[in-house]
Every structure is written in structure tokens, then in C-alpha cells.
Amino acid sequence: MRTITTNDTARPTLRGIADHSWNSRGLCYGMDPADADELFFHAPRAHEAAAEAKSICGRCPVKKDCFNYALDNDIRHGMWGGLTEIERRPWHARVNKRLDYSRVKAAFQGRDVHLSDAERDAVVRHAYARGWDPERLAYALRLELDWAKDLMRRAAHDVADRDRYWGLYDEADNTEDEVVSSPVPRQVHTRALIAALGKAA
């Protein structure tokens, strides 16, 4: 298990999965539990409590950390990061499509962060492009070695497909001094793609 130490002078911008140290810097920290429950886990029609909680969250220095904690841990009840459960619902629905490159960068730096599906795919593609071996990827993402090999194989196919179609658009049609770009017709691209998929199958 990894442990994260904090330094008050240079706080990291992105926290790990099990790091709750941001909580002690929140404006709600140290509140009476009954008052906190009434404000942040209010009844659906308690508009005054919701407004007061939003005013506290609006001034809170760790509002983003609070919001990310609720998303990463799938907490659907209560107010987190200044948003009610109804306001966070669209975020929860799209959490696996979130692509935050600060999280991708943190994963490369060895941080234990919660990655969405899109962020994990980005890490795998970048790892392949950087020449990582499957063992290193398995260690970085805490995966089984066979699964890491499969992910690297898939990344290799993705990069090969990208490079195969990279030159389909001809930018070298020179007529006198002007450059005319003529994109390949959609039908040709589709036939080529279908043929490539047929060979892969």
C-alpha cells in the first residue's frame, strides 16, 4: 500500500485515491456533526439549508478535491464540492468518459489516482508510444501482466491503424504556386477501412 506524505509548503495538485488530507482544510471541517448533517445532507425541499451549504462550499479552498472525492468514490447522496446529488448526477453518468490529462500525467509520475476508462486508455497509448514494456505498465496501473500485454497489443493496433490512414489526405497537389488539399473521398476511406477490418478478423 502506498502512503502519501503532505507538506504544507508544497501541496500536490492531485490527490491519491486514499488520501483524505484535503478534508482538514475544508470550511466544514470541525463543524458539529448534527449541523453538518442538516446542511450537507439536507431534506430534498430544505432550500435554506441548501443555500447555506452552497455559500460555505463556494468559499471553500478544497471544493474541487471534495467534488472529485465524491465522483471517484461514487458518493451519490449529500452535497459535495458545492453540488447537490441532483446536480452531480450528469457527472456520475459520464465519469468513465472523463479525460483529465493532469490525472494521466499523475499516473505516469507513479501517483495512485482513480483513472476513468478514457484516462486509462490514454495512459496505455502514451506508454506504448514511449516504449514501455508490459511489466512496467502492469506495475504502473496495478494490473495483471496478461491484461497489460493485451492492452499494449491493442495500443499497437490503434497506433498502426492511425499511421495507416495518416497519409490518405494529399497535401502535395501543387498547381503553380498554390497548394490544394484534396481529401480522399469518404467512400474510398470506408472501403479501405472495411478491408482492413476484414483482414483483422
Q: Are residues 159 and 177 in the same domain?
A: no
User: Of 48, 64, 93, which residue constitutes the final position of a domain?
Assistant: 93
Output the pLDDT for position 144: 92
DSSP alpha helices (H): ranges in 25-79? Answer: 33-40, 47-59, 63-72
Total number of domains in the chain: 3
Q: Are residues 54 and 69 in the same domain?
A: yes
pLDDT in tens, 2-43: 444 444 444 445 555 556 778 889 999 989 988 888 889 988
Q: Are residues 32 and 89 in the same domain?
A: yes
Which DSSP string do the residues of 70-109 spell out, in sequence order?
A: HHHTT--SS-BTTB-HHHHHHHHHTGGG---HHHHHHHHT
Q: Are residues 26 and 89 in the same domain?
A: yes
Within a domain: 114: yes
Is the pTM value of this prediction over 0.95? Answer: no
Asked if the model's pLDDT at residue 172 lies above 90, the reply is: no
Range of the domain at 145: 99-164
CA-angle at 10, arms to 81 and 5, nearest 5°: 80
